[in-house]
Amino acid sequence: MRFFRRALTGLFLVAITLGLLAMAGNTIYGALQDRMADAGGGMPVRERVFAAEVATIALGTQTPILTAFGEIRSRRTLELRAPAEGMVIELAPGFEEGGAVAAGQVLLRIDPAQADSALASARTDLRDADAELADAARAVDLAAEDVAAARVQADLRARALARQQDLLARGVGSAASVEDAELAVANAGQAVLSRRQALAQAQARLAQADTALERRRIALAEAERARAETVLRAEFDGVLAGVNLVEGRLVNRNEQIARLIDPDALEVAFRISTAQYAQLIGAGAGLPAAPVRVVLDVFGLDLASGAVLTRESGAVEAGQSGRLLFASIDVPRGLRVGDFVRVELEEPPLDGVARLPATALGSDGQILVLGPEDRLEGVSVELLRRQGDAVLIRAPGLAGREVVLARTPVLGAGIRINPIRDAGAGVAPAEPQTIALDPDRRARLIAFVEANGFIPADVKARMLDQLKEAEVPAQMVERIESRMGS
C-alpha cells in the first residue's frame, strides 16, 4: 500500500510539472508574437503596376455626325382617280404594280357611249340655238325696216296736215279737212310707236337667242370635257403603286385606282430630338443646308445616296416630340418609297475638341491622364457628342498629354501604370472577313438573290458578282441565309 501511494504521488507531481512547463511555453510564445507585432517585423508589400494603353490628346476641328432613322417619301405623288363612271374598256400595257409610265401616256379608257350621246345632243342643241339667233337677227332687221316705213308715213301725214292748215289759212280749205289730217298724223305716230315696240321685242329676242347660244356652247364644252375625261393620261414620268383595277371593271367617279410616284423626286423624313435640333442649328436662326447621307442596308451591302437638308415640319404632331426634318435626295439609286433607312447628318464643325474612344471617359465625366512617375490623374472634361464607339470632348489645357484609352475598375487616380504607346500603329486595317463557298451553297444563294424581286437591279448585280467570286463576304452570306431561313 505504501508503494502504491508513493507511485500515485509521483505521477501527480509529474503531471503538475508538465502542465506548468506547457503554461510557461505558451506564455513565452505569446510574448514573442506581441513583440514581433509591435516591432512591425512583417515582410514589405510591393506596389502593383498595371499595364494600360495610352495615346496623346490632339485637339482640333471635328465634324459630328448625327445619326437618325427615317422613311423614304416622294415629293411628287399623284392619286389616280377615275375621271368618270362606267366600264373600263382599255388599260395601258404597263398599268400594273410598279409599272413605269411616261408623261402624257394613256393609262385607261372608260366606255364613252354615254359621253358620246351627250356630246351629240349638245352639238344639236348648239345648232338649234345658232338657227334661233339667226332668225332673231332677221326679225330685228325686219322690225327696223317697219319702224323706218312707219316714220316715212308719219312724215307724209305731217306734211299733209301742214298743207291743209295752209289752205285753211288762205280761206280755201275747210276745218274738217284739217281735223282729218290731224287724226291721220296721230294714227301715224301711233303706228311708229307700235313698230318701235315690235323692234324692241325683236332686239330682246335677239339678246335671248345670243344668251341661249352661249349656254349651248358652254354645254357643248362640258360635253366635250366629259368625253375627254373618259381617257386618263399620266401627268408626269413615274411608276404606279397601289393598283386595284382590271379591264372590264365598273368604276365610280373619283374612285382611287392607283398612285403615280415620281421615282426621281424622293426625300427622306426623319425625326430628331429637340436637343439634337438645338445642336444642329447652333447659333443660327434657321436650318442649315447640311449634307446628308442616306444608307439602306441590303443583305450586308450599304446602298448609300447623298441628300441635302431642305426643311422641317411646321408643327409638332400630337403625341410626338422633337423635330421632323426632310432631306432631298440627289440621286435616289435603288431607293423606293417606304424604305426604312439610316440617316447620317453632318452637324456644324466643333473647334478645339478631341476624339477619344468611349471607354476612355468614365461615368463621373473624368478621363485618366498620365502624370509624373507614370501615375494617373483624374481630370474632368466636357462631353460634347457621342459618335458610336467614340466621344468628342472639350479638354482645355490637356493638349499633348497622354490619356488612358480604356478604363478598368482597377485604374484610378494615383495608380501607377506601365503605359503602352502606339498600340496598333502601322497595322493595316483588317480586310472584311470572307469565306469560301461550296458549289451547292453558292448555287442556292445565287438562286435566292435572282428570285428576290425586292432587291434593286443594280444592287442585285453587285451581289451576284460578289457571290461568283472565290471568296464571299461572310456578313453578306449570313444575312442572305437568315432571309432564306437556313
- The verdict on residue 284 lying in a domain is yes
Digit-coded pLDDT (tens) for 259-295: 999 888 899 999 988 888 888 887 666 788 888 999 8
Domain membership flag for residue 220 = yes
297 and 310 in a single domain? The answer is yes
pLDDT band (50, 70, 90) for residue 426: very low
**Pair 149, 187 in one domain:** yes
Which residues lie below 8 Å from residue 212, measured CB to CB, with a gap of 6+? Answer: 129, 132, 133
Based on the structure, what is the number of domains in the chain?
Answer: 5
Tell which residue, 238, 300, 246, 311, has the closest CA to residue 455: 300
- Domain end point (choices 288, 311, 346): 346
**Confidence band, pLDDT 50/70/90 cuts, at residue 301:** low
In single-letter form, the type of residue at position 47 comes to E
Does residue 127 share a domain with residue 223? Answer: yes
In a domain, 285, yes or no: yes
Return the CATH number at 407.
2.40.420
> What count of Cα atoms within 13 Å lies in the side-chain half-sphere of residue 294?
28
Distance in Å from the first CA to the final CA of the chain: 102
Task: Please tell me the distance from the alpha carbon of residue 358 to that of residue 389, in angstroms, as a whole number.
Answer: 5
Alpha-carbon separation of residue 299 from 302, 364, 449, 460, 473 (angstroms): 8, 40, 10, 10, 11
How far is the C-alpha of 362 from the C-alpha of 441, rounded, in Å?
47
158 and 84: one domain? no
CATH number of the structural domain spanning residue 307: 2.40.30
Starting at the edge strand that comes first in sequence, how are the strands of the sheet with 250-251 ordered? 231-233, 106-110, 86-91, 250-251
Judged against a pLDDT cut of 60, whether residue 64 lies above it is answered with yes
- Three-class SS state of 152: helix
Residue 425 clears pLDDT 50, i.e. is over it: no
**At 20, phi and psi to the nearest 5?**
-65, -40
For residue 325, tell me if it sits in a domain: yes
Flag whether 42 is in a domain.
no
CATH, residue 197: 1.10.287.620
Using the structure block, give the residue that is written with the C-alpha cell 472565290.
470
Residues 129 and 209 in one domain: yes
Q: 130 and 105 in one domain?
A: no
Assess whether pLDDT exceeds 80 at residue 92.
yes
**Are residues 102 and 245 part of one domain?**
yes
Question: How are beta strands 291-298 and 301-312 bridged, if at all?
Answer: antiparallel
Helices (H) and strands (E) in the chain, counts: 7, 25
Last residue of a domain, one of 228, 245, 275: 228
Q: What is the pLDDT at residue 429?
A: 41
- Among 346, 364, 385, where does a domain finish? 346
Q: Are residues 168 and 133 in the same domain?
A: yes
- Tell whether the model's pLDDT for residue 42 goes beyond 60: no
At residue 43 the predicted structure's pLDDT band, cuts being 50, 70 and 90, is: low
Tell me the whole-structure pTM to 2 decimals: 0.60
Q: Which pLDDT band holds residue 428 (cuts at 50, 70, 90)?
A: very low
In this structure, the answer to whether residues 144 and 217 fall within a common structural domain is yes
Residues 140 and 209 occupy one common structural domain: yes
The answer, yes or no, to whether residue 431 has pLDDT greater than 50, is: no
Instruction: Give the H/E segment covering residue 270.
Output: strand 266-272
Q: How far is C-alpha 82 from the geometric centre of its chain's CA atoms?
A: 27
Q: According to the model, what pLDDT value does residue 325 have?
A: 92
Q: Is 462 left (phi over 0), alpha (psi -120 to 50) or beta?
A: alpha
Residue 62 located in a structural domain? no
- Give the CATH number for residue 92: 2.40.50.100
Query: Are residue 224 and residue 239 in the same domain, yes or no?
Result: no
Q: What share of the chain is helix, strand, coil (3-state, %, to 5)?
A: 40, 30, 30
pLDDT for the residue 37: 63
- Measured between alpha carbons, how far is residue 289 from residues 286, 330, 335, 388 in Å? 9, 13, 22, 24
Please give the share of the chain, as a percent, with pLDDT higher than 90: 11
Rounded Cα gap, residues 104 and 377, in angstroms: 74
DSSP E strands in 281-397: the ranges are 291-298, 301-312, 323-329, 340-346, 350-357, 366-370, 376-380, 382-387, 390-394
pLDDT at 51 over 90: no
- pLDDT digit string, tens, across residues 357-367: 988 888 888 89
pLDDT (tens digit per residue) in 178-234: 787 788 888 888 888 888 888 888 889 889 989 999 999 999 999 999 888 889 999
- Residues 338-350: pLDDT tens digits? 888 999 988 888 8
Q: Is 143 in contact with 174 (CB distance < 8 Å)?
A: no
Kindly calculate the radius of gyration of the chain based on its CA atoms and give it in whole angstroms.
53
Could you list the beta-strand ranges (E) of 57-152: 60-62, 65-74, 77-81, 86-91, 100-101, 106-110
Angle (CA) 463 464 466, round 5°: 65
Distance CA 80, CA 94 (A): 15
Q: Is the pLDDT of residue 411 over 90?
A: no
List beta partners, residue 369.
377, 403
* Of the candidate ranges 39-43, 51-55, 333-337, 449-453, the one whose mean pLDDT is the lowest: 39-43
Residue type, 266: L
pLDDT (tens digit per residue) in 124-158:
999 999 998 899 888 888 888 888 888 888 888 78
- Please report whether residue 45 resides in a domain: no
Q: What is the pLDDT of residue 284?
A: 65
Q: Which domain holds residue 363?
A: 350-420
Q: Are 377 and 332 in contact (CB under 8 A)?
A: no
134 with 164, same domain? yes
Q: Is 192 among the domain residues?
A: yes
What pLDDT does 448 receive? 84
